A = this chain, B = another copy of it.
């Protein structure tokens, strides 16, 4: 579980709630169901025009990915690739056939299987890199929905506020209700800003970060598989792949 994301969300939301609690107005001044409907409903409705239904329905899963993200461990991946390289170097490529089942990672398994099947190197690299492109594209579509909602939420907040102001200004017969009319009008803009800056934009950025990490792991794997298939010396492979690790972790590995 991603502690930082959880703490961050609680912190940002908590500060907003705490600010209201210590303020001069009661909570009720900040709650307005029609405003919630305009902001969230409008943003979701507009997004449903933009994206296919299955992307919209997949949004809770994508949001969960932000919290329960198990960070990639490139160091472990490299260790596994070096181990496979040593087997291939010592006993030949076909020996990897026996090790395919112990490999968890689908992408490593794909590469090893093609190498064992004798697929030509250019074909292996072409298929693996096309796969990476496809994964990157699927990532981008998932993030695009969050980004788009982060743009629509404030836009519908502003639409709600304009409607509220027009309602209030059309009937200014009761001067004492002007203030509360304006307050209610401003609530939609507030909801739009909160929902965009506490949820949609941070989640979209985090998704982008998670996606980048995953692409780095996939790049390590492609390079590892190509090196194994060409019979490269495992020590050289270790050096090539080591550049993907931050210097401190790399130094620890080399000491070991």
Interface residues of A (CB under 8 A from B): 2-5, 7-16, 18-20, 22-26, 29-30, 34, 37-38, 41-42, 44-53, 56, 66, 71, 106, 114, 119, 123, 126-127, 130-131, 133-134, 138, 148, 152, 155-156, 158-160, 162-172, 176, 178-183, 186-187, 189-190, 193-194, 196-198, 201-203, 205-206, 209, 236, 239-240, 243-244, 246-247
Contact = CB atoms under 8 A, between A and B. Distances in A.
Given A11-B41, A134-B244, A169-B179, 12 more contacts: A5-B49, A8-B49, A11-B42, A16-B38, A16-B42, A19-B37, A23-B167, A49-B66, A130-B243, A133-B243, A155-B196, A172-B176
Given A41-B12, A169-B179, A51 B240 contact: no
A206 B49 contact: yes
A78 to B, nearest CB: 13
A176 B13 CA distance: 32
A197 B159 contact: yes
A41 B25 contact: no
Given A4-B51, A209-B52, A198 B46 contact: yes
6 contacts: A11-B45, A16-B42, A19-B37, A25-B166, A130-B240, A155-B196
Contact of A20 (B2, B24, B50, B163): B163
Nearest to A180: B170
A114 B169 CA distance: 68
Contacts of A11: 41-42, 44-45, 48
A130 B187 CA distance: 50
B38 A15 contact: yes
A127 B243 contact: yes
Nearest to A44: B11
A62 to B, nearest CB: 14
Given A19-B38, A66-B49, A163-B20, A155 B193 contact: yes
